A = this chain, B = another copy of it.
Amino acid sequence: MAAKLTPPSEDYPRWYQEVIQRAELAENAPVRGSMIIKPYGYGIWEQMQSVLDRMFKETGHVNAYFPVLIPESFLKKEAEHVEGFSPELAVVTHAGGKELEEPYVVRPTSETIIWDTYRNWIQSYRDLPLLINQWANVMRWEMRPRLFLRTTEFLWQEGHTAHATKEESHEETLRMLEVYARFAEDYMALPVIQGEKTEREKFAGAVKTYSIEAMMGDGKALQAGTSHDLGQNFAKAFDVKYQSAEGKEEYVWATSWGVSTRLVGALVMAHGDEQGLVLPPRLAPIQTVIVPIYRGEEQMATVLEACSKMEAELKAAGARTHLDDRDQFRPGYKFNEWELKGVPVRIEVGPRDLEKGEVVLAFRHNGEKKTLPLEAVAKEVLSVLDEAQKGLFEKALKRREERTHSVDSYDEFKERVNGGGFFLCHWDGTTETEEKIQQETKATIRNIPFDAPDEAGECMVTGKPSARRVIISKAY
């Protein structure tokens, strides 16, 4: 490794850029605001995709694919939707050597083309629910791009479902929010707060938007997934009706929900430290790395043989394992490199260890070491990884709890908000107050948490009555 990473406490944004660059996750592309996702970063996304795809299928969804280009006129059919997305559109005006009669926009999200299609797919209540997901690239022309967090092109999944009743679509919206929360907590090792977005922050075209909000290493919030109850807005805009069992014509009820490659950035900021990336075992492309330690050719032969055997055993046990047998680098160099890349468990294998019939395991998330008998490694690797997964979640939860504050005075809030963290405050429910808070502090209402207790209070800004606290924080 070359120079040390900038410590996150010194310059967090710079640390973030350096980790992404040195851990070889991604880099800026020669296309404004776009990124190239490098193999190691893409490997994390592949793990995410594989878990999420299984979770979607287990909840009854199937995948399909809709065009990346959308006729410009489609966007205009839902008034709030076009207003929200217009400033961010990339537009194809020429194709096949000619100017197009009607321009196409590169999809910023696919509600419009999908609901235009659903009009033909849905006639009767028997066609419902329609539970479709799409894995795709989308484009939003961001003014201040940042690798993974805000890029003009990003990869995501977007679920688009159609239902016969308001109740069913509402249930689906919350079901998928819960899927996202389970994914964040159980796989990303990232505690999240489920809640409703304010009117001002909801998706352009939605009736209600729900989010999961996570705390990053610097105490800022990151919206890690959203699920939208679209009501009948898109069904009305695209004239999608069904005949009910009773023979009545009704507009269809809709949801949409998505998570994106932004989650890779969330993973970096949620768990990363002075040494670089810290990956949760369940999403790490490499879960265990074996580093041989030897001097001279004789030792090398013995040690590498033991390492190869262990590699095969660990893989057979179901652990994604890499044996770093590069001869041109010393063990210390390799330790640093795999720490930088966030590999959860390092296994050090040296001649003295082998003589004693044991190896040393080093945990990335807390720096602790553990000695195991050689023959126990494969048997215990999955529980060792589980232990690391849990430890990482506990660490993140503890940090969030330490940095979550109930604050009742707006002066106190203004004083403390720059230090980062989540602030549980009373708010009078108006957009005016919400805007005032943002203008004066740059913090925003993240969501209205489902699990906030009913607790009468007074808005910290206006003193008007409030029934429960909301989370306010600076955010990515």
Contact = CB atoms under 8 A, between A and B. Distances in A.
Interface of A: 29-32, 34-39, 42-43, 45-46, 62-71, 74, 86-97, 103-104, 106, 113, 116-117, 132, 136-137, 139, 141, 143, 152-153, 155
A36 B65 contact: yes
Contacts of A136: 137
B96 A87 contact: yes
Nearest to A74: B30
Given A64-B39, A65-B155, A106 B87 contact: no
A95 B89 contact: yes
B46 A113 contact: no
> Interface centre among A63, A90, A141, by most B CB within 10 Å?
A90
A132 B43 CA distance: 12
- Within the oligomer, what is the number of copies of this chain? 2
A97 B87 CA distance: 6
A63 B46 contact: yes
A113 B71 contact: no
> Interface centre among A35, A65, A92, A152, by most B CB within 10 Å?
A65
A366 B69 CA distance: 41
B68 A42 contact: no
Nearest to A94: B91
B70 A116 contact: no
A68 B117 contact: no
B34 A96 contact: no
Contact of A31 (B42, B71, B89): B71
Given A34-B69, A68-B153, A94-B93, A42 B63 contact: yes
Contacts of A42: 62-65
> Interface centre among A30, A67, A90, A143, by most B CB within 10 Å?
A67
User: Nearest 9 pairs between A and B by C-beta?
Assistant: A96-B141, A90-B95, A39-B62, A37-B65, A34-B67, A91-B94, A31-B67, A95-B141, A93-B93
Nearest to A130: B39
A116 B88 CA distance: 27
Contacts of A36: 64-67, 117
> Interface centre among A35, A89, A95, by most B CB within 10 Å?
A95
A217 B130 CA distance: 34
A30 B155 CA distance: 23
A39 B116 contact: no
A141 B97 CA distance: 9
A145 B36 CA distance: 31
Nearest to A69: B31
A68 B104 contact: no
A35 to B, nearest CB: 8
A106 B89 contact: no
A25 to B, nearest CB: 11
A151 to B, nearest CB: 9
A249 to B, nearest CB: 21
Contacts of A132: 39
Nearest to A134: B42
A222 to B, nearest CB: 21
Given A31-B104, A34-B69, A96-B143, 8 more contacts: A31-B70, A46-B63, A68-B68, A69-B90, A86-B97, A91-B92, A91-B93, A92-B92
Contacts of A34: 67, 69
Contacts of A39: 62-64, 132
Contacts of A91: 92-95
Contacts of A94: 90-91, 93, 103
Contact of A30 (B87, B96, B113): B113
Nearest to A140: B96
Contacts of A67: 29, 31, 34-36, 153
A137 B134 CA distance: 13
27 contacts: A29-B113, A29-B117, A30-B113, A31-B69, A35-B67, A36-B117, A37-B64, A37-B65, A39-B62, A39-B64, A39-B132, A42-B62, A42-B65, A68-B139, A68-B153, A69-B153, A86-B97, A88-B96, A90-B94, A90-B104, A91-B92, A92-B106, A93-B93, A95-B152, A96-B143, A97-B141, A136-B137
